[in-house]
Amino acid sequence: MNCIDEQLLQKYIDGECTELEITEVKQHLSVCPACTRRLAEGEKLSAEIKRALNFLTIDEIEIPAFRNIKTRSVNRNINLIIYSLSAACILLFVLFIVDNEIMPNQNEITIVQSIPLEVDANRPASDQDFVIEIYDGKGQRSEYFVK
Amino acid sequence: MVHKMISDRDDASDLVQEVFVNLYQSIEKEVVIEHPRSWLYKVSIHKCIDFTKKRQKHENIELFSQLKDEDNPLDNNEKKAVVRLALNRLTNDESMLAILYSEGLSYKEIAEITGIRFTSVGKTLSRTLTKLGNELKKLKYELY
């Protein structure tokens, strides 16, 4: 019995044989170890060539190295907030002490200068009347007329 | 399929666009296309062959430059370069046949597209695959 030719063997590998050809090939393979070996090699070669050619169209997606950025930034932010709040608390505490001990409350004097509406801008200031109101720490009001 | 023959993705996209412009023009001229799938493959292949003729030498130099060290196992980019180099060492008809085969086309479709006689497709294919396998092995590509 003649061995399977390369045309028929390739057709068999690719499923292109007729029913009759398939029967013939199977019968021959059952008695011919050399053709069985050729078939196995041919199947491997066909599969590998397809795989190699299809590999050309696979796009490589570059995945950057994993870094837990969120966790780190959250920790940093929390630390920053804690430090800022601590600093603000200390500053407020110091200001409160300084305000109470070094600069104790004192009676304020408020001076309010009122300018009458009928001021004539064309006349010298020395010719016009001005009123100066002074409030002392107890809220008492004093008026001074300047002529 | 076009991207298998043309390494640069932008060039491949341009060629595919040209193919579909041709299809549109053929439809406008009322040209009868019996098998659109085969027609698209055929036109694409011819455009790819024309394109590669112009720049194959240049491409081979580029591909060689991508192979850094022969002793180390190939990385994915080097594997692609090797497969392209091996394909470039085949004739245009052979590389076209191998690519159509890798696309899973039937012998009937391959015969329609390439013009090879239907009864000879198996034999031609077997020889082409063996040749391509040998070229890949020469370039240290691990087939199996």
How confident is the prediction for chain A on average, in pLDDT? 80
pLDDT at A2 over 70: yes
Residues A131 and A62 in one domain: no
Q: Which domain range does residue A47 map to?
A: 1-85
Report chain B residues touching chain A, CB-CB < 8 A. 3-4, 7, 76-77, 79-80, 83-84, 87, 98-99, 101-102, 104, 106-107, 120, 122-123, 125-127, 129-130, 132-133, 136, 141, 143-144
Supply the pLDDT for residue B101.
93
Residues contacting B78, CB < 8 A, separation 6+: B66, B67, B68
Q: d(Cα A57, Cα A14) in Å, to the nearest integer?
A: 22
Q: d(Cα A36, Cα A26) in Å, to the nearest integer?
A: 10
Residues A125 and A60 in one domain: no
pLDDT tens-digit series, residues B32-54: 888 888 889 989 988 888 887 77
Supply the pLDDT for residue A134.
77
Which pTM does this prediction carry? Answer: 0.62
Q: Is residue A9 part of a domain?
A: yes
Residues A126 and A79 in one domain: no
Residues A1 and A62 in one domain: yes
Q: Which residues, in sequence order, are bridge partners of residue A144?
A: A132
Radius of gyration of chain A (CA): 52
| Tally of domains in chain A | 2
Banded model confidence at residue B92, pLDDT cuts 50, 70, 90: confident
Q: Report how far apart the first and last C-alpha atoms of chain B are (Å, whole number).
A: 24
Amino acid in the structure at residue A87 = A
What is the ipTM, given to two decimal places? 0.81
Percent of chain A with pLDDT over 70: 71
How far does the CA of residue A22 sit from the closest CA of chain B (Å)? 15
How far does the CA of residue B55 sit from the closest CA of chain A (Å)? 18
Residues A78 and A118 in one domain: no
pLDDT tens-digit series, residues B133-142: 999 888 878 7
